[in-house]
């Protein structure tokens, strides 16, 4: 699988990353079996995916990663997050250290490759104290590189002026395109990890309006799974499936491939719960240089945006 160097580091990121949120067994409906979760991670590894995106708040995803990867966890890129304390952003230096050290114990490693601030601060810790603390943890060798998630363009530029932050993790998909409005420019020269490329499964064509998610599935409270957005997203997914049929690939691969082919994107983080989903998603790499396909997909997306 193709890979890109994370700017300013020696870390190589495969163009696809396995997102481990749903593998943690919380917030995504009935948890899948342990066997399937482990098989999903191993399938990703077998297909050449070398980046695994996790977080202390993704249920027991870290444990599953350790179980599935074994010693291979020292050879892959473990990207994790810090700074969420009981549901709230906490970027206080003492909490960041405690949060990271707990992660190191769970992942059974001495350092993680990429440590990302999970959410922008809601509690007024000055950016300077937060990023000084993160750089300190990097200098101590507990992390190889520091990144951020979910910041807007103005704040990202402020952070870049005070710290060596090498990556931005941000949502980006055919139905969620705020990255194009200022963030792409603000993140120039950084690695960009694009998340939620399937709009939580919607763009894979897995769901149609009327589908009821159980209360323990976050999609039961997601506006994108309510009409009229659900109807529009499902219609887009059907069109992506038609495009996919012409090139012999599933809709999910088309949706993920589109994100991977956009300027400024280093890797696309797609979540999966089953090996078959990973296999479908990894087919996206076949489309990376398919300018013609992206022209068609661009036109289709514009129609659905207006519709």
Ligand X SMILES: NC(=O)c1ccc[n+]([C@@H]2O[C@H](COP(=O)([O-])OP(=O)(O)OC[C@H]3O[C@@H](n4cnc5c(N)ncnc54)[C@H](OP(=O)(O)O)[C@@H]3O)[C@@H](O)[C@H]2O)c1
Q: For residue 306, what are the contacts with CB-CB under 8 A and spacing of at least 6? A: none
Instruction: Please state the closest distance from residue 229 (CB atom) to ligand X, in A.
Output: 15
Instruction: Please state the closest distance from residue 76 (CB atom) to ligand X, in A.
Output: 14
CA distance 243 to 223: 26
Alpha helices in the chain (DSSP H): 34-46, 61-69, 93-107, 127-139, 153-162, 183-186, 229-247, 251-260, 275-282, 291-306
Instruction: Please state the closest distance from residue 107 (CB atom) to ligand X, in A.
Output: 15
- Binding of ligand X by 269 (CB under 6 A): yes
| Gyration radius of the chain's alpha carbons | 19
Q: Are residues 238 and 203 in contact, defined by beta-carbon separation less than 8 angstroms?
A: no
Instruction: Please state the closest distance from residue 280 (CB atom) to ligand X, in A.
Output: 4
Instruction: Using CB under 6 A, count the residues that bind ligand X.
Output: 29
Residue from 134, 186, 204, 287 touching ligand X (CB under 6 A): that is: 204
Q: Are residues 253 and 280 in contact, defined by beta-carbon separation less than 8 angstroms?
A: yes
Residue from 40, 150, 266, 290 touching ligand X (CB under 6 A): that is: 150
When the beta carbons of 197 and 264 are compared against ligand X, the nearer one is 197
- Binding of ligand X by 280 (CB under 6 A): yes
- Binding of ligand X by 252 (CB under 6 A): yes
Residue from 57, 77, 159, 270 touching ligand X (CB under 6 A): that is: 270
Query: For residue 104, what are its two tokens?
Result: 């190191």
Instruction: Please state the closest distance from residue 164 (CB atom) to ligand X, in A.
Output: 20
Work out the burial of residue 243: count CB atoms within 10 Å of its CB; fewer than 13 is exposed, 13-18 middle, 19 or more buried: buried
- Binding of ligand X by 53 (CB under 6 A): yes
Q: Which residues are catalytic?
A: 58
CA distance 302 to 175: 10
When the beta carbons of 141 and 240 are compared against ligand X, the nearer one is 240
- What distance lies between CA 78 and its chain's CA centroid? 12
Binding mask 22-51 for ligand X (x = CB under 6 A): x-----xx----------------------
- Positions touching ligand X (CB under 6 A) are 19-22, 28-29, 53, 118, 149-150, 169, 195-201, 204, 206, 252, 269-273, 277, 280-281
């Amino acid at each position: 699988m193709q890979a890109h160097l994370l700017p300013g580091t020696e870390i190589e990121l495969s163009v696809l990353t396995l997102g481990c949120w749903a593998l943690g067994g919380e917030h995504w409906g009935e948890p899948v079996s342990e066997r399937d979760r482990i098989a999903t991670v191993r399938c990703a590894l077998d297909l050449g995916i070398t980046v695994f995106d996790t977080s202390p708040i993704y249920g027991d995803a870290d444990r599953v990663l350790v179980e599935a990867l074994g010693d291979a966890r020292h050879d892959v890129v473990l990207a994790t997050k810090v700074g969420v304390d009981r549901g709230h952003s906490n970027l206080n230096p003492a909490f960041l250290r405690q949060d990271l050290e707990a992660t190191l114990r769970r992942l059974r490693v001495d350092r993680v490759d990429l440590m990302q601030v999970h959410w922008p601060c809601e509690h007024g810790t000055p950016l300077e104290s937060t990023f000084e603390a993160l750089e300190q943890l990097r200098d101590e060798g507990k992390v190889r590189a520091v990144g951020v998630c979910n910041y807007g363009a103005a704040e990202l530029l402020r952070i870049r002026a005070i710290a060596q932050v090498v990556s931005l993790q941000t949502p980006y998909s055919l139905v969620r395109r705020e990255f194009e409005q200022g963030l792409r420019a603000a993140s120039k020269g950084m690695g960009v990890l694009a998340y939620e490329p399937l709009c939580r499964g919607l763009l894979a064509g897995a769901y149609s309006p009327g589908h009821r998610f159980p209360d323990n599935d976050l999609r039961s409270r997601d506006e994108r799974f309510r009409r009229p957005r659900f109807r529009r997203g499902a219609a887009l997914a059907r069109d992506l499936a038609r495009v996919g049929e012409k090139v012999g690939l599933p809709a999910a691969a088309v949706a993920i491939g589109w994100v991977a082919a956009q300027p400024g994107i280093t890797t696309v983080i797609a979540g999966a719960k089953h090996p078959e989903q990973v296999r479908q998603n990894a087919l996206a790499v076949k489309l990376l240089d398919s300018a013609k396909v992206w022209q068609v997909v661009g036109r289709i997306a514009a129609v659905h945006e207006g519709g």
